[in-house]
Structure 1
Amino acid sequence: MNPRVIKVEYQSPYKLNLSFSNNTIKQFNLLPYLHYPVYKVLQNETFCKKARVWNNTVIWDEMVDFDLDTLYLESEPI
């Protein structure tokens, strides 16, 4: 199991700085995902900035979230 997200900070344009439970900080690029129907709402940058941590991952509301493993494995160290 990969480390859990403990903090998220939105970085324009469409990037998230993520702090993980193993003390690593990585950046996740949302752009490759914005064409998927479930993530189209994140094209609205105002909404996208509302990212928050819940249940060890990143969510925006009850309908939009990312898998914890995707966030860790697809992020780049910063």
Structure 2
Amino acid sequence: MFLEVIKAQYVNEYRIKLWFNNGEMRMVDLKDSLNGPVFQPLKDLDFFKKFAIRFNTIEWPNEADFAPEYLYGIGTPISG
């Protein structure tokens, strides 16, 4: 199955709750993943909160994104 993010909700700090097309929900903390020039703007929490789902994952206005497989892999499973 091709993994896709189908819903995303900001939680706090650099944490986002994600729903995947395989029926699982995961909590991701991206604080330690914001490395490199494209991710520098995301260190500003106001900018970080401006993500949207685009092309099967979350993406920010500066076109920074993470592969859904990466998000799934670093995410902690959650229920309900």
Both structures adopt the same fold (TM-score exceeding 0.5): yes
Q: Name the Cα RMSD after superposition.
A: 1.4
Q: How far did residue 62 of structure 1 move?
A: 4.6
Deviations 1:21-55 (A, max 9, x none): 01111011111112432211111111111111111
Aligned to 2:21: 21
Once residues 22 and 75 of structure 2 are traced to their aligned partners in structure 1, the CA distance between those partners, rounded to angstroms, is 14
- TM-score, length basis structure 1: 0.88
Structural mapping, 1:28-39, within 5 Å: 28-39=28-39
Q: How far did residue 63 of structure 1 move?
A: 2.4
Question: What are structure 1's unaligned runs of at least 5 residues?
Answer: none
Over the matched positions of the two proteins, sequence identity in percent amounts to: 33
Secondary structure of 1:73's partner? helix
Once residues 31 and 63 of structure 2 are traced to their aligned partners in structure 1, the CA distance between those partners, rounded to angstroms, is 18
- TM-score, length basis structure 2: 0.86
